Amino acid sequence: MNIAIIGGSITEGAGATSYEKSYVYKLEQYLKDKYRELNLLNLGAGGTASNFALFRLKRDLGNFKPDIIFVEFAVNDRNYKSMDITIYFEGLIRECSKYTDKIVIIDMPTGMCDACTSIHKKIAYFYNIPIIDVQDVVWRKIGNRETTWTKISIDSIHPNDNGHELYYQIIKEELGNIDFKEIKIKIDCRVISKYKFMNPILIEHDDKQIEYYGSWSEETYNLNDKFKYCAVSYNVDNIVVFKFKGKHLAMMNLLSRDGGKLLCELDEKYRFYIDLFRDSDAYFDTTINLSNLDNTQHTLTIVIDKEKNPKSTGDKVVIGGFLIDLGNKV
């Protein structure tokens, strides 16, 4: 049996003192004892949500052929607008169904606000797939004074060794009520959201569809295995031209304290700015999210603007790649 699990930093093992203490490792050992011949591929990447997972799934699976896919993104999905994340998470579930009809959602808790469980449950029910609500069980235990958040976590998001053990025990118990043979996603032309992804793909920074003008370089930015190499500029007036055909467009950028500002123009019609400054440790995120475009040829022109955020210490621009949906094209 081949199992893939895609998620954020908790699935990656964050918070545990070693990977062997993580819930995924414990889950893998349990399933190996139960099914003997089992391969588990961990596609956890810290700081990522279902909006990026939708596009990286094909790349990260590679030649791995999963019989079951576990999906864990409730914690990171909470950072986005509910309408946007409904579109992306539903798209991710439908994309997973291209590889297997057996999908299980795992929703983890946070200590500061509700994770994105309500949206995930709605999608799980619509597609007739099981969801393991770890958040619900954890907070019931906290409410019953069986534990406290500080005893199971290192911060407001990541579980410590005790937390990983608790999450594993909850998942293990819930899996006892799930017959993998009975799992079969119900999928047809209907969707919950207003946009249906047909053929989402990830365009890496060095693709021939992307042209760079000015002083750009290729640098290593292997943050949580999102992109190993990226296109990087430190100077204003440098230009990027991306020509593509598709119905959806997103861009992955590094957001940082020295991030610059971008002036973007789509098809010589629509102009908008993107501020890459964030007063936090650097992280990758989507900065353009345009859906329901005409399924024709498009040109995106990006210029590094002279007027950056006054709080920024630089004009740095890091492009990991573009995320597009080819629509009905196979």
Every domain of the chain with CATH number 3.40.50.1110 lies at 2-182
Domain 200-325 CATH class label: mainly beta
How many Å apart are CA 266 and CA 243, to the nearest integer? 10
Q: What is the mean pLDDT of residues 146-174?
A: 96
Task: Give me 305's structure tokens.
Answer: 């603007």
What pLDDT shows up at residue 80? 83
Residue 221 has pLDDT above 80, yes or no: no
Of 215 and 189, which is predicted with more confidence?
215
Residue 81 has pLDDT above 90, yes or no: no
Residue 22 has pLDDT above 90, yes or no: yes
Every domain of the chain with CATH number 2.60.120.260 lies at 200-325
Percent of the chain whose pLDDT exceeds 70: 98
Choose among 252, 212, 253, 255: nearest CA to 235.
212
Q: What is the mean pLDDT of residues 316-326?
A: 94
Residue 225 has pLDDT above 60, yes or no: no
What pLDDT shows up at residue 220? 86
Please name the CATH architecture into which domain 2-182 falls. 3-Layer(aba) Sandwich (3.40)
What pLDDT shows up at residue 158? 95
What pLDDT shows up at residue 330? 44
Q: What is the pLDDT of residues 173-200, one digit of tens each?
A: 999 999 888 899 998 888 998 889 999 9
3-state secondary structure of 253: strand
Residue 222 has pLDDT above 70, yes or no: no
Residue 150 has pLDDT above 60, yes or no: yes
CB-based contact 323:199 (threshold 8 Å) = no
3-state secondary structure of 117: helix
Q: What is the pLDDT of residues 32-73, one digit of tens each?
A: 998 888 999 999 988 889 999 999 999 999 999 999 999 999
For residue 304, what are the contacts with CB-CB under 8 A and spacing of at least 6? 233, 235, 236, 237, 238, 239, 260, 261, 262, 263, 315, 317
